[in-house]
Amino acid sequence: MHNLHLNHKSKTPKYKQIVEAVITDIERGILKKNSQLPSISEMSAHHDLARDTVEKAYRELRERGFILSVQGKGYYVSGGSDGKMRILLIANKLSSYKRLIYYSFLQTLGDKAQVDLQVHHYNAKLFADIIERNLGKYNYYVVMPHFVHDLDKVNLEEVMKSIPPEELVFLDKDYPHLPTKHLAVFQDFQRDIFNALLSANELLQKYTQMVLVMPSDGNYPTEIARGFHNYCVNYQKTYKIIETASEESVQAGTAYCVIEETDLAELIKKIRQTDLHLGQDVGLISFNDTTLKEVLDITVITTDFEAMGRTAAQLLLEGKQEKMKNPFYLVRRGSL
């Protein structure tokens, strides 16, 4: 137990921190079956703890079957690790696309890991609370770092730094400001959007105006708007960014980039009420592919969500700390 770390600022009682640290080391295989723990006196003296605190921790560990006491000899580990990695995946939301990542992640790991799922709902304070409650309980913390709410209530960088870098994994978006090395499988939203539009440059030449329909309350990365802006400026397109398609008057020579499916449906309906032809007079690009968009012949720009989950899981299984940019591409269909 030389590496027992107690967080004196944590709301978690010291005895509980000892319990969690011992269980984690057993599950990681650091503490092997039949290995001896420090005596109560050694533990209390080494970590400047009251004997009652250590006794309470050892009693709970014994009652839960993790350790046993041998009269006159001390405390021993009674069980070993099942060999499974323990992973906490903290998502920003549970959309259909995030479920694709999650299930691909689970499928690739198979029976080699136990994965628990929590959701921070874009809330920095909620995320900080999740980390505080679970720090030290898992082998890896897989984080989707999209935050919008309560950013002024916590120091997110300090929260990230509280997770050992070898245990930290970023998924869907990187967190590049951290000084330590960590694993990440991510989208580069600004560059990805720019390059996706650039790949359709000859199709977009027939449109003089571009419109991005991006609700401000949808918690979407601002980098999407920057990538769209950069493309329009570089290729001399008149452009605007609007919140919703509900008040939009569809005009010839306009190509729409649409994030939400409700706005996509609204624009398709509006176009059908005119004499304009989709893919000739008016263009439509949607974000993230679905079977319905394929059937409707809608051009999409999308990442490979299944590849994201699969890649992250494979890197964890191989014990690698790499940064991998996830595949991102434009699928050409008749709407452009």
Please identify, in words, the CATH class of the domain defined by 14-77: mainly alpha
Distance of alpha carbon 140 from alpha carbon 169, whole angstroms: 7
In the three-class reduction of DSSP (H, G, I as helix; E, B as strand; rest coil), residue 75 is classed as: strand
190-303 to CATH, choices 3.40.50.2300, 1.10.10.10, 3.40.50.1000, 3.30.1360.30: 3.40.50.2300
Where does 200-260 have alpha helices with state H?
201-204, 222-234
Residues 6+ apart with CB under 8 A from 213: 242, 243, 244, 245, 248, 256, 257, 258, 259, 260, 263, 267
- CATH dotted code for 85-186: 3.40.50.2300
- State the pLDDT at residue 83: 63
Distance of alpha carbon 118 from alpha carbon 90, whole angstroms: 5
How many of the other CB atoms lie within 10 Å of CB of 320?
10
Where do the domains of the chain lie? 14-77, 85-186, 190-303
Provide the residue-wise pLDDT of the chain in tens; the chain has 336 residues.
546 777 777 778 889 888 888 887 887 777 888 889 999 999 988 888 999 999 999 998 888 888 888 888 899 998 655 667 889 999 999 999 999 999 999 999 999 898 999 999 999 999 999 999 888 778 899 999 999 999 999 999 999 999 988 899 999 999 988 888 899 999 999 999 999 999 999 999 999 999 999 998 878 999 999 999 999 999 999 999 999 999 999 999 999 999 999 999 999 999 999 999 999 999 999 999 999 999 999 999 999 999 999 999 999 999 888 999 999 999 999 999
Torsion of CA 149, 154, 158, 161, to 10 degrees: -50
Distance of alpha carbon 261 from alpha carbon 56, whole angstroms: 55
Q: Between vectors from CA 134 to CA 171 and to CA 186, what angle results, nearest 5°?
A: 5
Query: What count of Cα atoms within 13 Å lies in the side-chain half-sphere of residue 69?
Result: 13
**Placement of tokens 């008149």 in the chain:** 238
- State the pLDDT at residue 333: 97
* Domains 85-186 and 190-303 belong to one CATH topology: yes
